[in-house]
Structure 1
Amino acid sequence: MRTEYAASDSDPNTQFNLGLRIYDEYKAYKYDSAFAYCLRINRLAEKSGDAKKIALAKLKLSFILLSSGMFKETFDALADLKAQQLSVPDRIDYYFLKARAYSDLGTFDQDDYYRPINYAKSLAYADTAQQLCRDVSYQCLTIAGFIAQKKVDLPAGIQSYQAMRRLPGLTPHQLAVSASTLANIYEMSHQEEAAFELLLVAAIADVQSATKETLAIFKVSDYCYRRGDLQNAYRFIREARDEAAFYKARQRQVEISHISSIIEGEKVGIIEQQRQTLQRNSWVLAGLAAFGAVCTLVIFLQLRRLQRADKRVLASNEELRAAIGQLHQLNGRLNEANRIKDEYIGYYLNSNSQYLDKLEALKKSLVALLDSKQYTGLQRLLDGVNIKHERTALFKNFDQVFLKLFPRFISAFNTLFRAEDHVQLAEDQLLTAELRIFALVRLGIDDSERISRILGYSINTIYTYKTRVKNRSILPNEEFEAQVRVLDAT
């Protein structure tokens, strides 16, 4: 469709329709791409001068802004939209979008004063959208389910869900939306088992439809955590966090960060308990080994004449010593892992604290400028946010913490190359881009796509850096990363 879109620049009407179809494919998958095509269809609509197209394009823009958690921009776009210029189905979408916007804003604010106000507006707009419905369609049943959710009307929610399941051609994404809505009603009605089952249905449907703008997997993680299933809770919260970051759902990332920190803290606690248990076991084994050595000595003195028995006892003693040596090595690795964990948690909490302070200061400034309607000052404030500078500072902090954890990493890394290919750093330089990639590999992050998201490089750039370094190494390419993961940290 993108190829057809590029080839249809001589036919604006065809290009507008193709742009809408491409937007529909991206809207639940990736915000950046959906937003880019939204801007294109808005430009095409403005150029055509067709009021209906202009209104429809702004409606699509409002939807994608809301999906990304950009509430102010959503309400600004909706304010410029004239509902009477939309078709009836699109007008229904318009009022329902406003209902969703006020509902999401109320949930995001978590404020006892403004939340009821926003929820009341949400319900009013949903009622307006429902009054325009004239048939039993997915659109109208979705609105009915939403209203049932706001009123905590479980029978009405079940009725809407069952009617929706009977619709012909129901897509996995539509199933996920309906199941998730009914799950919320069950949850508010304190029927958590039924809510959990429906959330699983929604999460599976989201996977089947490649939906990234999703709440189901996050809520499944929360349910697993409350049930004590920490392993699945940790797995699902990581997936939810990755999906929110991939889509760029800002409000979802904020919601996920709270439960994510709790679950990860619990996991760290379990790891610490396992470490202590292993340490106690090592002492027990050491005691048993000592006892075995004493027994061996007694047997040796009593059965000196039995040479064959003597050899067997000596062999057993050697095996015990080897086992003790392995335990000492294992204990040393555990101590190293514990030290790295403590350092990394401190760095993680400190970095999050700094960014939260910055966000809080930025929020206060934005609120002050908005309250005083100083839009010029608002623009200056936004222009002052230097993402490149922030990323550079992030890299510097990461380099410092990593080199503190692995002070011999660079020298150990150089042993994998010939002398002429050793990494040479400037006096004030910590890590190069290539070293930073393999520093993440040493920490256990070896997925190139994940590394590209962390460092802000394209996936092709990561592959290029990796290939270039591996080609210089004295090791075979397939063995290089495995060797980096065990480089000495002391």
Structure 2
Amino acid sequence: MFILATTNAHAGTSGNELLLGELDQLLKERITYVRKKENKINYLKQLSSSEASVDKKYDIISRLIEEYSNFQSDSAFQYIEQNRLLAGSLESKDKLLENRFQYIFLCAQAGLLNEAQHALLELEDQYPDMNMSQKAEYNKQYERLYMNLRELAQNSHLEEEYRRQELKYSRIICGLVPRESKDFYYYSFKQNYAEGNLEEAKKDIASYYQLIDSASNEAARALYHLSLIYKIEKDELNEEQSLICSVMADIKSAVKQNRSLRLLAQIRNDKGDIRRAYRYLDISLQDANFYNTRLRNSQIAEAIPIIQKEYQLQRDKQALYLWAGIVISTFFLLLILGIALYLRKKRKDLSVARSQLLSINDKLNRINCEVQEKNEELQSLTSNLMESDRVKEKYIGHFLKLCSMYILKIGDYQKLVNRKIKSGQIEELYKLNSSTQYLLKESKDFYSQFDEAFLQIYPSFVKELNALLKEDQQYTLKEGEFLNAELRICALIRLGIKDSSQIAEFMGYNPVTVYTYRTKVKSRAKDKNNFDQEILKIGSVHASS
């Protein structure tokens, strides 16, 4: 098979190490491919802004949506809305339908599965009037929706039902698209894979692969599915090779919405390659945040055992250092005791050697000082690690609490929407969804939760921050009051978020506003030049001592 030859060409006596080395180098250079993607996007934006024809402008923006669809969901949504207005002005039903399919695809990609399902239901009445291509696209959206629902429902009673629905729509698509087309091979693969016909599935994915660009997101998808076959066959070498090649294709096509890198991180973790697993998972999380997908973020959260394993490794190292210190200290103490006994026994007979003994005692005193210094360093290291453990445990607890709270709120909101829809209160639902009060309330609650969590972890934060400020410029909080905007910015800096753009995104401010607040706070500081560095020391063991 062609794909097998592509992946096995990199295999050698050292397993996948050579291929992993190539991937590590490609990950270092991934910004190059992102720049190429951004240059292409900027070029299309220039074309769009200078195009006078509405029809041609629609086509250019469609290409922009395609570029953004696997790169950054927020921008893709903006251009989908632009094209919706253009399609409306053209009074083109086909373009309006095409735009709606793009919207549904993006909702599913971004994890907005309820919105995707609702949009598909709105198109149900139009289905009989669609042409074959449009019907195929309609069923593709349903297949993708149930695929994402299945991934979210893994190991639950709903997983098998979603799998049946996914397979049902794959069969429908195969009956609507031309045979020997890439869509036919892809959805035929999904059928054969689901039914356990692995050899036929391999043939389908190989035929699909030969019809696409080997450096595209489609190639990454094909290689990802091939890895699933190898996983069932327990062929760990080829499973990992397929995932590595899939990640390489994602990097070259600057895809930020991916699955393969996260799965590869889990495999490397299982093999004890914690360093790579950590780096891969971190990059995967960065990509998911950049794309803004809830689905991938929730899946990455399942990889938290990697963090726990690394935490245990750190504990083991700490214990090793502690035992080494005890052994060294014991050795020196026994040495001192032996010398002291020897000196006591020989004191009467060795009065002539008194000066030599004094010299030896001086050396022993220096050794004692060094041992004491080492013990103090070990105690400081132990205290720092205990503080780190405490903060980490509290962070994880608050993170899980916040996630649970928002899951419940999403469930309540879903029930509310369902009730409104069932009772025909569409207008009231629209007004409710258009109101900013709910978003403002959620933002206020979120900031309150953040303030409460932060002040629990750093209860003396305001007091220590005031110590860095001039006496007449210090902050005073009333009883029960949380952080204001300026203190919250300082809190984010304490957590290591120093970039004004990131702070602005977190707080919903303009970066210029954040910069103004930071300048205002810094103007109150006793030492303006080192103010940010001093904030980072607040609450630490060294700072408190």
Instruction: Give the Cα–Cα distance (whole angstroms) in 2 for the partners of residues 186 and 48 of structure 1.
Output: 49
**Matches for 1:88-487 after TM superposition, within 5 Å:** 91-110=135-154, 115-134=159-178, 136-167=180-211, 169-257=213-301, 259-295=302-338, 297-298=340-341, 304-306=354-356, 307-366=358-417, 375=426, 386-419=438-471, 421-425=473-477, 429-446=481-498, 451-457=503-509, 461-462=513-514, 465-466=517-518, 469-470=521-522, 473=525, 475=527, 477=529, 479-487=530-538
Q: CA deviation at 1:407?
A: 3.4
Q: Residues 476 and 205 of structure 1: is their aligned pair in 2 closer, same or farther, counting only changes over 3 Å?
A: farther
Instruction: Give the Cα–Cα distance (whole angstroms) in 1 for the partners of residues 426 and 179 of structure 2.
Output: 45
Instruction: Indicate the SS of the match to 2:71.
Output: coil
Instruction: Give the Cα–Cα distance (whole angstroms) in 2 for the partners of residues 192 and 231 of structure 1.
Output: 20
Q: Is the 8 A contact 1:145 1:178 kept in 2?
A: no
Q: Is the 8 A contact 2:468 2:525 kept in 1?
A: yes
Instruction: Indicate the SS of the match to 2:355.
Output: coil
Q: CA deviation at 1:83?
A: 5.6
Q: CA deviation at 1:57?
A: 1.5
Structure 1 residue runs of 5 or longer lacking an equivalent are none
Q: CA deviation at 1:317?
A: 2.6
Quick one: which of 82, 96, 106 aligns to 1:64?
106
The answer for the alignment partner of 1:23 in structure 2 is 65
Q: Is the 8 A contact 1:71 1:101 kept in 2?
A: yes
Q: CA deviation at 1:28?
A: 0.6
Q: CA deviation at 1:26?
A: 0.7
The answer for the alignment partner of 1:11 in structure 2 is 53
Q: Residues 49 and 409 of structure 1: is their aligned pair in 2 closer, same or farther, counting only changes over 3 Å?
A: same
Larger RCO, structures 1/2 (Cα 8 Å, 6+ apart): 2
Q: Is the 8 A contact 1:230 1:267 kept in 2?
A: yes
The amino acid that maps onto 1:305 is S
Q: CA deviation at 1:433?
A: 2.8
Q: Is the 8 A contact 1:31 1:68 kept in 2?
A: yes
Instruction: Indicate the SS of the match to 2:65.
Output: helix
Q: Is the 8 A contact 1:55 1:85 kept in 2?
A: no
Q: Residues 261 and 327 of structure 1: is their aligned pair in 2 closer, same or farther, counting only changes over 3 Å?
A: closer
The amino acid that maps onto 1:264 is I
Q: Is the 8 A contact 1:241 1:253 kept in 2?
A: yes
Q: Is the 8 A contact 2:214 2:249 kept in 1?
A: no
Q: Residues 253 and 330 of structure 1: is their aligned pair in 2 closer, same or farther, counting only changes over 3 Å?
A: closer
The answer for the alignment partner of 1:51 in structure 2 is 93
Q: Residues 311 and 126 of structure 1: is their aligned pair in 2 closer, same or farther, counting only changes over 3 Å?
A: same
Instruction: Give the Cα–Cα distance (whole angstroms) in 2 for the partners of residues 421 and 110 of structure 1.
Output: 55
TM-score normalised by length of structure 1: 0.84
Q: CA deviation at 1:365?
A: 4.5
The amino acid that maps onto 1:352 is C
Structure 2 residue runs of 5 or longer lacking an equivalent are 1-43, 348-352
Q: CA deviation at 1:23?
A: 0.6
Q: CA deviation at 1:20?
A: 0.5
Identical aligned residues as a percent: 23
Instruction: Give the Cα–Cα distance (whole angstroms) in 1 for the partners of residues 308 and 164 of structure 2.
Output: 37
Instruction: Give the Cα–Cα distance (whole angstroms) in 1 for the partners of residues 245 and 98 of structure 2.
Output: 32
Instruction: Indicate the SS of the match to 1:123.
Output: helix
The amino acid that maps onto 1:50 is S
Q: Residues 366 and 283 of structure 1: is their aligned pair in 2 closer, same or farther, counting only changes over 3 Å?
A: farther
Q: CA deviation at 1:387?
A: 2.8
Instruction: Give the Cα–Cα distance (whole angstroms) in 1 for the partners of residues 212 and 288 of structure 2.
Output: 31
Instruction: Give the Cα–Cα distance (whole angstroms) in 2 for the partners of residues 391 and 96 of structure 1.
Output: 36
Q: Residues 101 and 356 of structure 1: is their aligned pair in 2 closer, same or farther, counting only changes over 3 Å?
A: closer
The answer for the alignment partner of 1:74 in structure 2 is 116
Q: CA deviation at 1:312?
A: 2.8
Instruction: Give the Cα–Cα distance (whole angstroms) in 2 for the partners of residues 452 and 151 of structure 1.
Output: 50
Instruction: Indicate the SS of the match to 1:252.
Output: helix
Deviation track 1:133-173 (CA, whole Å, cap 9, x = no partner) reads 44655444433433333333322332233334444744431
Deviation track 1:105-134 (CA, whole Å, cap 9, x = no partner) reads 344345876554543443343233334444
Q: Residues 354 and 120 of structure 1: is their aligned pair in 2 closer, same or farther, counting only changes over 3 Å?
A: closer
Deviation track 1:430-474 (CA, whole Å, cap 9, x = no partner) reads 333333233233334446565455444455555554455556645
What value does the CA root-mean-square deviation take over the aligned residues? 3.6
Q: Is the 8 A contact 2:219 2:246 kept in 1?
A: yes
Q: Is the 8 A contact 1:183 1:198 kept in 2?
A: yes
Deviation track 1:207-265 (CA, whole Å, cap 9, x = no partner) reads 332212212222223333444444444443444344333323233333333x1444434
Q: Is the 8 A contact 1:452 1:462 kept in 2?
A: yes
Q: Residues 399 and 106 of structure 1: is their aligned pair in 2 closer, same or farther, counting only changes over 3 Å?
A: closer
TM-score normalised by length of structure 2: 0.76
Q: CA deviation at 1:399?
A: 2.3
Instruction: Give the Cα–Cα distance (whole angstroms) in 1 for the partners of residues 92 and 421 of structure 2.
Output: 33
Q: Is the 8 A contact 1:52 1:85 kept in 2?
A: no
Q: Residues 100 and 344 of structure 1: is their aligned pair in 2 closer, same or farther, counting only changes over 3 Å?
A: closer
Q: CA deviation at 1:181?
A: 1.8
Instruction: Give the Cα–Cα distance (whole angstroms) in 2 for the partners of residues 253 and 281 of structure 1.
Output: 41
Q: Residues 161 and 14 of structure 1: is their aligned pair in 2 closer, same or farther, counting only changes over 3 Å?
A: same
Deviates more, 1:317-326 or 1:80-89: 80-89
Q: CA deviation at 1:60?
A: 1.4
